[in-house]
Structures are given as structure tokens and as C-alpha cells.
Amino acid sequence: MNIDFFKKIRILDSGMGQELLARGLVSKGTLWSATALIDEKYNQLVIDTHLSSINAGAEVILTNTFTTRRVRMEQNQVGDKFNFVNQKACELAKKAKELSKKNILIAGSLPAQNDTYEVDKRDKNIIEKDFFDQVSVLNPYVDFFYLDVISSGREIEIALNLIEKFNKTLLVGLHIRKNGKLPSGETITEVVNKYKNNKWLGVVAACVSLEIIEKTSNEFKKLSMPFGFKANLWGVEEPLPVHRFNNAKFNEIGKNPNIRLGTRKEITGKIFCEFAKKIIKNGATILGGCCETDSSHIKELSKLKQFF
């Protein structure tokens, strides 16, 4: 993996989970996108969603492993399928790449291992084991790892120590709140300066609003490393930790998170592209979408490569 890969404009994919739901996935419990890995009838939907991003111009796709973390699997009483679903996600991403006949990269999505948008305060050994188990399954299939919506430097440090043992590079996705800081209270600069090593490919604002991305772009610029975003289009600027459900059952139909958080349907691909232009002019080179974005947003982003 070329350590300088993200030093020029690169296009990441759009959000997977919300797009699967929009395409007809019926989620069980709080597994959301992981349902499409357990239930074979939805496997092709995962491949098709990957292909939509690739055909729209994405140069990197993420494995569909955001909700295959061990905690979420156990909460939904399907913990025994942990290895199966993580491997299946990699196989489907690889299949999409083969079908596209394009030289895209596959990044292993490593989410925060407990609740999303919140600091994982569990014992270090527990977090370490959860990361290790997921890294171990994904490693043979991926070109690099993506720390997906991480809320504290401590979690980054734990993941970094593991990934380094597998000799893989990584892109770091920091979740940022309206105050410009991580949920841990740390600043972007503090985290990067403390934990950055020679395996970092770059850093992005992960699953945050356009407004937060624009507000923090100057701080990202001063880091002197490739940066960018995976923006969400939730209807609220600062999502609540909606992913804490300890009594979920796989046989129950899960609600789409956008019922609670809403969606910014007015942000079309063209508007998304105009926003990206402003961030590019401030130095960003890594462009992509997260929740509630789709291939139409990626298609417009990909057009920017000819101008910058």
C-alpha cells in the first residue's frame, strides 16, 4: 500500500448501512447492515451497493463491517456468527471488485467497538480483544484498515497497537462534535500529534455534518497530512448515541435510524459537490460519504478529480 496514496484527490464510497435499508433491506434488531450478511438473500444487495459506489467513481470501498462488531452481535443474540459475518463482508467486497474489473482498494472498516458516537470506557483488555478479533478476520482481504467513527485517542491507540502487528496501514476516521472536539473532549490536533505514526495514510472527519467538517477544516489543514471527510446527511447536526440497545432480539424488526435522526434530502449530489469544492480549496484530498449519502453524491464528487 502506497503511503502517499491520499496525497492527491481520492474518492471514497458512500454510506452502506442506510443505502441497504433504502434498497429494501429489512433489518433485524439493531444489526442493520449486518442483517444483509447473515441473511443470504440480501448478499447480492451488498455487492450491488458496493458496485454503485465503484461505478460512480469510488476508488476505495469499505467492508460492510460497521455493525459486525462483537458487542452488537451479542446484543442481538447472534454472537456465534461473528467470524462468519465479518468474513462474508470481505468476500462480498472482493466479489464487487472482481465484477467491476476496476483497480479499486478495499479498506477494512473497524468501528468503535462499543456504542457509536460515544467513548468506549470499558477495560482496555476487553476493547483490545474486540478489535483483535475483527482485525484478524478482515486482515487477509483488505488493502488497509479504516478506523470508522472513533471517539477517543485511547481507542485509536489500542487499535493502532494491534494493526501494527499485522503490518497494515490505516486511515483514521475521527468523530467530531459541534464544539470541534472528539466526544472524549480531545482536540483533533491533540489526538493526531499524540498517536500518529508512519502507518497513517491520513485522517478524516467521520460521520459528521457538513457544517462541522467546514468548521474544523482549518485545524485539519494545519496537521500537514492528507485529510478529508466521510460526511453524513442526518437531519440533526449532532446525533444522539442511537446505537445503545442491550435487549435487542434478532427476530424483531429494527427501525431505521433515520426515523429518529431524519435525513437531509435537500443535499443533492450537486450541492454535496459544491460543498466539497470549498473543503478541497482548504487542502482536503479525501472525499466520501457516510450515513444517508448514496452513489449520486459519489458520482458528483468524482467529477472533481479533473479540476484539482
Q: CATH number, domain at 277? A: 3.20.20.330
CA distance 36 to 32: 8
Q: Is the pLDDT of residue 80 over 80?
A: yes
Looking at the whole model, is its pTM more than 0.85? Answer: yes
Average pLDDT over residues 192-198: 97
Q: What is the pLDDT of residue 155?
A: 98
At residue 17, the 3 state secondary structure works out as helix
Q: What is the pLDDT of residues 242-300, one digit of tens each?
A: 555 445 555 666 788 888 889 999 999 999 999 999 999 999 999 999 999 999 999 99
How confident is the prediction for the chain on average, in pLDDT? Answer: 94
Residue 59: is its pLDDT beyond 90?
yes
Residue 307's pLDDT is 79
Q: CB burial class (10 A; 0-12, 13-18, 19+) of residue 102?
A: middle
Three-class secondary structure assignment of 122-147? CCHHHHHHHHHHHHHHHHHHCCEEEE
Q: What confidence score (pLDDT) does residue 245 get? A: 46
Please determine, for residue 203, whether its predicted confidence score (pLDDT) is greater than 60.
yes
Cell 442493520 maps to which residue?
Answer: 32
- Structural domain for 211, as ranges: 5-306
Give me the number of domains the chain comprises: 1
In this model, does residue 239 exceed pLDDT 80?
A: no
pLDDT tens-digit readout, 129-181: 999 999 999 999 999 999 999 999 999 999 999 999 999 999 999 999 999 99
Say how far apart CA 263 and CA 257 lie, in whole Å: 10
Q: What is the pLDDT of residues 84-98, one digit of tens each?
A: 999 999 999 999 999
pLDDT digits (tens, 9 = 90+) for 7-55: 999 999 999 999 999 999 999 988 999 999 999 999 999 999 999 999 9
How far is residue 70's CA from residue 33's CA, in Å, rounded to a whole number? Answer: 14
